[in-house]
Amino acid sequence: MKLTYLGTAAAEGWPAVFCNCENCKEAARLGGRNIRTRSQALVNDDLLLDLPPDTYLHKLANGLDLTKVRYLFVTHWHMDHFYPQELTIRGSYYSHGMVSPELDVYCAEGTKGLFDKIGWEANRDTLDAIHFHILSAFTPVQAGPYTVTPLPANHMHELDGGGNTPHPYIYLIEEGGKKLLYGHDTGYFYPEVWDFLGKAGHIDLVSMDGTCGRRKVGLRGGHMGLPDNLEVKARLIEMGVCNEKTVFVINHFSHNDGICYDHLVPVAEKDGLIVSYDGMRINT
Ligand SMILES: [Zn+2]
Ligand SMILES: [Zn+2]
Ligand SMILES: [Zn+2]
């Protein structure tokens, strides 16, 4: 399985859209891998994880053919993970020579609800080619060659104005005998998620939430910092589902509490963690 990190920041990007803090100035000064756009990842060429407002930028920056994407898994409807308006210009007279005219979208009901609010902007051909599948926690779905199990994320269960919670998911993705856990956005895992992971078999790549820098967040914060990442890593190894061959990545960074890429790498490397950057590719 090939995993490409297209965007690696939290909601506001880094440097943030409207910010002049020291961390944003430092990232701008350093440039390169210190510049982070909103989180999105691509598995092989056809399974997309999240649809942030920076999707178009990711296509340009990585020379992607997004018409190859057949499956879209959305973690939750926070704006850095789901910008549904983008789907209204997919297909019909906006798109030609598409490799995959059909798109299967897998998400929570509330996420689809956000698309439904703006779906009237799309024409009939576009809507007919998009097939939503509402996920249930712990129930795997088969998306072509991928077996994907949604696990409940520990992340911001507040209600929106319409009374919906984000029902966030993290995903265990299996294909070609390899497994990867895409864990964004989430705080320290719920007990039932640990129970599931304990029986999941060997995991080849674990992508953990690194939003909170050096701060320990624990069960309450909805994200993780380095101390949480190390606890998760140690527990997965202790349970026997990860070992020295497992690749551990930290990803989804914020200028708040954050340490720029150049400064974070030496810290994380000592603990066997890879720090993501926009455009990073990993083969498992
Ligand atoms: Zn996020
Ligand atoms: Zn800032
Ligand atoms: Zn979120």
Of the candidates 19, 87, 149, 1, the one whose C-alpha atom is nearest the C-alpha of residue 9 is: 19
Ligand approaching nearest to the C-alpha of 49: 1
> Considering its fold, how many domains does the chain have in total?
1
pLDDT surpassing 70 at residue 163: no
- Both tokens of residue 199? 């029986």
Cα–Cα dist 72/52, whole Å: 12
pLDDT at 156: 79
pLDDT at 162: 56
Mean pLDDT of 29-42: 98
pLDDT digits (tens, 9 = 90+) for 126-157: 999 999 999 999 999 999 999 999 999 999 76
The bridge status of strand 141-143 relative to strand 178-182 is unpaired
In the structure, what pLDDT confidence band is assigned to residue 166 with cuts at 50, 70 and 90?
A: low
pLDDT digits (tens, 9 = 90+) for 69-106: 999 999 999 999 999 999 999 998 899 999 999 999 99
The bridge status of strand 169-175 relative to strand 178-182 is antiparallel
Q: Which residues surround ligand 3, an ion (CB under 5 A)?
A: 78, 185
pLDDT surpassing 90 at residue 12: yes
153 residue type, one letter: A
Cα–Cα dist 133/112, whole Å: 9
In the structure, what pLDDT confidence band is assigned to residue 158 with cuts at 50, 70 and 90?
A: low
pLDDT surpassing 90 at residue 257: no
The bridge status of strand 103-107 relative to strand 130-134 is parallel
User: Please, are residues 154 and 103 in contact by the beta-carbon 8 Å criterion?
Assistant: no
Ligand approaching nearest to the C-alpha of 52: 1
Residue 142 Cα, ligand 1 centroid: separation in angstroms?
25
Residue 17 Cα, ligand 2 centroid: separation in angstroms?
8
The bridge status of strand 274-275 relative to strand 146-152 is unpaired
Residue 78 Cα, ligand 3 centroid: separation in angstroms?
5
Residue 145 Cα, ligand 3 centroid: separation in angstroms?
28
Ligand approaching nearest to the C-alpha of 260: 2
In the structure, what pLDDT confidence band is assigned to residue 119 with cuts at 50, 70 and 90?
A: confident
The phi, psi pair for 240, rounded to 5°, reads 90, 5
Name 245's Cβ contacts closer than 8 Å, sequence gap at least 6: 204
Residue 6 Cα, ligand 3 centroid: separation in angstroms?
17
Ligand approaching nearest to the C-alpha of 13: 2
Q: What is the domain-level CATH number for residue 150?
A: 3.60.15.10
- 244, burial (CB in 10 Å: exposed 0-12, middle 13-18, buried 19+): exposed
Residue 111 Cα, ligand 2 centroid: separation in angstroms?
28
Residue 11 Cα, ligand 1 centroid: separation in angstroms?
5
pLDDT at 120: 75
pLDDT at 165: 62
User: Above pLDDT 70, what percent of the chain?
Assistant: 96
Ligand approaching nearest to the C-alpha of 76: 3
Residue 267 Cα, ligand 2 centroid: separation in angstroms?
21
Ligand approaching nearest to the C-alpha of 78: 3
pLDDT surpassing 60 at residue 43: yes
Averaged pLDDT score across all residues of the chain: 94
Torsion angle of alpha carbons 106, 109, 114, 115, nearest 10°? Answer: 40
Query: Whole domain around residue 33: which residue ranges?
Result: 2-283
